[in-house]
Structure 1
């Protein structure tokens, strides 16, 4: 979600300061290839773990023939082993990299042991890929699960140094991407950082609209060495948000889609979906991405689509009566019914929901006195792409969780380029049943991960204003707390969350990066919050959650 006010403001500032000096870079995407990796320049990846397997992925880049036409299919061998040297083989087979699927290869490997670490690789055109590491989900009770949670990776705004830090971790079960894995904007636009845009050249140079555009953008991202390492070392569990399509997308269009200039939305949507399914290690189920992954008795990971599956168009004015209509939906009826069933039928201790946009109430209008040029209603209207824009359906889900007496619901969110920790209640203000001191009356907790590299509030609005905004959001304003359910807010640091799940508690640890303008940086633990099983009270942690006693051996 990019509030239009903020996006237009930064666009004007950047264009004015740069004079629209769009430098013409002399090289092509092929110049980013590392020759030693040929023909597997984009590395390997795994994803969607189940109790007996996972998806493995690669892309073969064949050399052009004399007439510049690529081979139509390339034979590929794949292998899965229990050791990093791939000598103790447990599964193997053959596949084709087809031009029809952009020469990507996905294999759904099954028949493996639950809760185990495996290693895998590919061979094609007489060459071997790098070795990847993957893990199956447990089918019995375990003491601890760990996941990195990421969102909002803008290639031109920052290096993927957060992915580099994640790749070093040796006790993650998976990386959960809750959307905005990439951005659709053109090269050298207002969402590119002046400091690095000449080094981080984006392909295609134009905005992604066609299938070829989206495929090229994924290819560009996957040539990044830090992202390639993260995929190599950990399974990814991914859902899309809007920028895999276009800013503020919904099921029938997007704010950043011009029908006259860019043609049919359905054609663009289909191209974006196809490229996502080709390039991401996701288990395909038609064109829908909502699904549940079971991690044994400890956790069910319920992944939803708040963007394309059923979302009604956004309303841009909090004074519009239709905003509060009971019929307005973010999910669509079939997905909403499915979500309710998945939550109520889950026998797992923890029900963790992978969700794209902020679910909890986000009260921001009270900060209007910080800027004499805006009103409270204007500010609130900038945040209607999140669940605040679909309040009746949110309340329906909150009431369902309460009525069904569902315990231990945790929501993971990205999108907003901020770090938040919420106790989920609806309504928040004037609710006689919600007590922020005890968590009573809340039905869930929500952890919002910071942007990995996309522009934060300070980078769009300036450090001074953002500092003021963060201060008033984090404390009572004029003697009154407008967000009593918000237990943490950070508006200006990049990073990610590590979620640690145990039978007795869940802890979310916020890790912040020192500098995203360099390829490799340091990180620091910024904050942590725990919620005990059976409770909805968020408690500040004094240190990161303990590491797993047994660590994985990284892929070589």
Structure 2
């Protein structure tokens, strides 16, 4: 169904046509009419990626736009030159096939190139006797091994399209910095949802529609409904839509990309093939959906995902293994000074340590387990005694609810569970099955007595006197049956760290609880950081910076249970604290010089030194800032803007985070942008290029360049000898 063209849509179309001549004309003069015709055959323009000293991967999507659905294969030629005019070709390859089976997308690996050289490329499509050329792309190969040259690149993440504009990318294009050699994209290249009101806008000028909506997953958020991609067609639609954006096209035409996925390329806060939309209400493992997401990613991203290499020529997407055999962790060498180690955090990692459907009252560490775990901590006897003393509090008392003396108590708990579960949307059968799983065994009295009181059964309250002390999910912040709070977000740090250590030491499955990289990838990682390159820069899609809200001394917060230390986000490395410290310890103990983590995901700018290892986190290109999202969450929880809690965790978020993490050197939780990083033999200089979060919903591509420039700012940081300083 066609829609009437909005005036802005017409203007955007004009901008898109102009983008076809971003790097000049071909050997024949190109008219506007010819450019429009060529654009019809190459609607997503061109892109390059995987820059190495002798090779690069080139991408396009070619079809007759009048026959987008069901069109046959397209036969193309590829031309590569060191000259923008294509006067002399270093490669001309004919007979390439943009296969309908791959949604008409094609990736070509070009080899035998010269190191640290700029190349121009274009695809040619002959149709009915006419010759149509794609927009011209520019790419650049890596320096040769051993070359002692500086390397400058950009890293960025999180570019939600719905209701938002790519003004951060526009700012990069404004800088016209020809020394930038490539872009590392850290994840969330796409967002799988079409308009989740929890974080996406309803701006209809920037929306995504599925051509096969019935194949998508229908989601509900309050009174709102939206869809999440599930089928291959759904995921392809998102990539096609995003890559129609003229600013996105210009960035791909100008710079080669090195891309790693995070969660939204498949599903928010996923692990393996498991989604988390239902917060434990349903089993969301879906291997087929995961394979669909990966297939679309491999079709549309200029990546070489086959660990055995594709040689040269067209890359067979069908040969790129998908889940559960995926393998996209890889490394790149850029001369003497840089080894880029690209890790995959999502594919092999286990579930979050606290299940979303965990029962708040369920005890996870008995008296004996607690004592053993505290005894094994690498602390002094005095520190261990202090920790043990904290658990003497009545808050940690528990009983075995299956004891015959508590039969009536268990009946009340079970009835309350069934009531809450059915109200949460479970069928009676589903609620009963979960009650059978969770309402049993050791139960924290702090929760049991609370449920009894709410049910009008206070007379059944159990005295904590003389009872054993242990830890329950409740003590880590888990308050509801099906919720992200106290599971993936806002967990009590001190009790969570202790529980993580207990799980990690489980003799039945040692270290399995936090095996984020998987055994094979971790072994590979440890080998790669031993390289002789000056800088070992580790790409992690999620942040290594600890984000801690330390509210322990905030007596103006009325609720004493909130006056604790909290991890803000347990979906990132904070959620695997034992493994995190083990990896950082490995880098220190093996004397890995100039190790540096770069990451994204959290939609904010952070620079910190974590246990002696520097870490830089990029802000989002366009996705809602973490300050904005935290504000929405706190308001939804019932805390007003003027409340002390809102002040500490939202209004003064950066100050609170710095107080909670002494290693945090720089923090900006409310800006969009990217980081430009230049490394040489002695230091790394990072420049955060930022624009305010208020500007992301405005289309600056239709404004004078000076307006965006006036809104932009920057912050320089120097990384040297394991320290980060403001430059």
TM-score category of the 2 structures, normalised to the smaller one? 0.7 to 0.9
Could you tell me whether the CA contact under 8 Å between 1:497 and 1:509 is conserved in 2?
yes
Could you tell me whether the CA contact under 8 Å between 1:46 and 1:55 is conserved in 2?
yes
- Are 2:293 and 1:272 aligned? yes
* Superposition pairs of residues 117-196 of structure 1, within 5 angstroms: 117-124=118-125, 125=127, 126-139=131-144, 140-168=146-174, 169=176, 170-187=178-195, 189-194=197-202
Q: Deviation at 1:46?
A: 0.3
* Superposition pairs of residues 407-418 of structure 1, within 5 angstroms: 407-418=593-604
User: SS of the residue aligned with 1:180?
Assistant: coil
Q: Which residue of 2 aligns with 1:113?
A: 114
Q: Which moved more, 1:450-459 or 1:172-181?
A: 450-459
CA distance in 1, matches of 2:552, 2:543: 19
Q: Which moved more, 1:135-144 or 1:170-179?
A: 135-144
RMSD: 2.9
Q: Deviation at 1:173?
A: 0.6
Deviations 1:464-516 (A, max 9, x none): 88775477555589xx9431100011111111111111111101111112522
Could you tell me whether the CA contact under 8 Å between 1:257 and 1:265 is conserved in 2?
no
Identify the match of residue 240 of structure 1 among 247, 254, 261: 261
User: SS of the residue aligned with 1:38?
Assistant: helix
Query: Measured at CA, do residues 412 and 498 of structure 1 come closer, stay the same or move farther in structure 2, by a change above 3 Å?
Result: same
CA distance in 2, matches of 1:184, 1:294: 32
CA distance in 1, matches of 2:207, 2:675: 28
* Superposition pairs of residues 433-472 of structure 1, within 5 angstroms: 442=612, 444-460=613-629, 461=631, 468-469=648-649
- Are 2:549 and 1:364 aligned? yes
Computing the radius of gyration from Cα coordinates, the structure with the larger value is 2
Q: Deviation at 1:105?
A: 0.8
CA distance in 1, matches of 2:722, 2:299: 39
Q: How many residues align?
A: 491
Q: Deviation at 1:258?
A: 8.6
Q: Which moved more, 1:106-115 or 1:148-157?
A: 148-157
Q: Which has the higher contact order (CA 8 A, sep 6+)?
A: 1
Q: Deviation at 1:48?
A: 0.8
Q: Which residue of 2 aligns with 1:529?
A: 717
CA distance in 1, matches of 2:338, 2:330: 14
Query: Measured at CA, do residues 252 and 182 of structure 1 come closer, stay the same or move farther in structure 2, by a change above 3 Å?
Result: closer
Query: Measured at CA, do residues 474 and 188 of structure 1 come closer, stay the same or move farther in structure 2, by a change above 3 Å?
Result: closer
Unaligned ranges ≥5, structure 2: 18-35, 214-226, 307-320, 355-486, 505-510, 633-640, 701-707
CA distance in 2, matches of 1:38, 1:371: 60
Q: Which residue of 1 aligns with 2:42?
A: 40
Q: Deviation at 1:454?
A: 0.6
CA distance in 2, matches of 1:471, 1:259: 32
Q: Deviation at 1:154?
A: 0.9
Query: Measured at CA, do residues 79 and 331 of structure 1 come closer, stay the same or move farther in structure 2, by a change above 3 Å?
Result: same
Q: Deviation at 1:171?
A: 2.0
CA distance in 1, matches of 2:72, 2:526: 44
Query: Measured at CA, do residues 377 and 273 of structure 1 come closer, stay the same or move farther in structure 2, by a change above 3 Å?
Result: farther
- Are 2:522 and 1:341 aligned? no
Identify the match of residue 505 of structure 1 among 683, 688, 697: 683
User: SS of the residue aligned with 1:209?
Assistant: coil
User: SS of the residue aligned with 2:195?
Assistant: coil
Q: Which residue of 1 aligns with 2:332?
A: 293
Deviations 1:442-483 (A, max 9, x none): 1x2111001111111343316988775477555589xx9431
User: SS of the residue aligned with 1:364?
Assistant: strand
Q: Which residue of 2 aligns with 1:55?
A: 57
Deviations 1:337-393 (A, max 9, x none): 11011111x110000111111113222243894865695489735511011111121
User: SS of the residue aligned with 1:273?
Assistant: helix
Query: Measured at CA, do residues 130 and 158 of structure 1 come closer, stay the same or move farther in structure 2, by a change above 3 Å?
Result: same
Q: Deviation at 1:254?
A: 2.0
Q: Deviation at 1:211?
A: 0.8
Length-normalised TM-score, structure 1 = 0.82
* Superposition pairs of residues 292-441 of structure 1, within 5 angstroms: 292-315=331-354, 316=487, 317-318=491-492, 319=495, 322-324=499-501, 325-326=503-504, 327=511, 328-344=514-530, 346-366=531-551, 369=554, 375-376=561-562, 380=566, 382-425=568-611
CA distance in 2, matches of 1:371, 1:184: 38
User: SS of the residue aligned with 2:240?
Assistant: helix
Could you tell me whether the CA contact under 8 Å between 2:48 and 2:256 is conserved in 1?
yes
Length-normalised TM-score, structure 2 = 0.63
Deviations 1:324-348 (A, max 9, x none): 332121111111111011111x110
User: SS of the residue aligned with 1:394?
Assistant: helix
Query: Measured at CA, do residues 112 and 411 of structure 1 come closer, stay the same or move farther in structure 2, by a change above 3 Å?
Result: same
CA distance in 2, matches of 1:354, 1:185: 25
Could you tell me whether the CA contact under 8 Å between 1:314 and 1:385 is conserved in 2?
no
Unaligned ranges ≥5, structure 1: 1-23, 426-441, 542-556
Query: Measured at CA, do residues 468 and 38 of structure 1 come closer, stay the same or move farther in structure 2, by a change above 3 Å?
Result: same
Could you tell me whether the CA contact under 8 Å between 2:548 and 2:568 is conserved in 1?
no
Could you tell me whether the CA contact under 8 Å between 1:63 and 1:70 is conserved in 2?
no
User: SS of the residue aligned with 1:50?
Assistant: coil
Q: Which residue of 2 aligns with 1:539?
A: 725
- Are 2:719 and 1:519 aligned? no
User: SS of the residue aligned with 1:399?
Assistant: helix
Q: Which residue of 1 aligns with 2:392?
A: none
Q: Which moved more, 1:415-424 or 1:457-466?
A: 457-466
Could you tell me whether the CA contact under 8 Å between 1:252 and 1:265 is conserved in 2?
yes
- Are 2:695 and 1:482 aligned? no
User: SS of the residue aligned with 2:114?
Assistant: coil
User: SS of the residue aligned with 2:204?
Assistant: coil
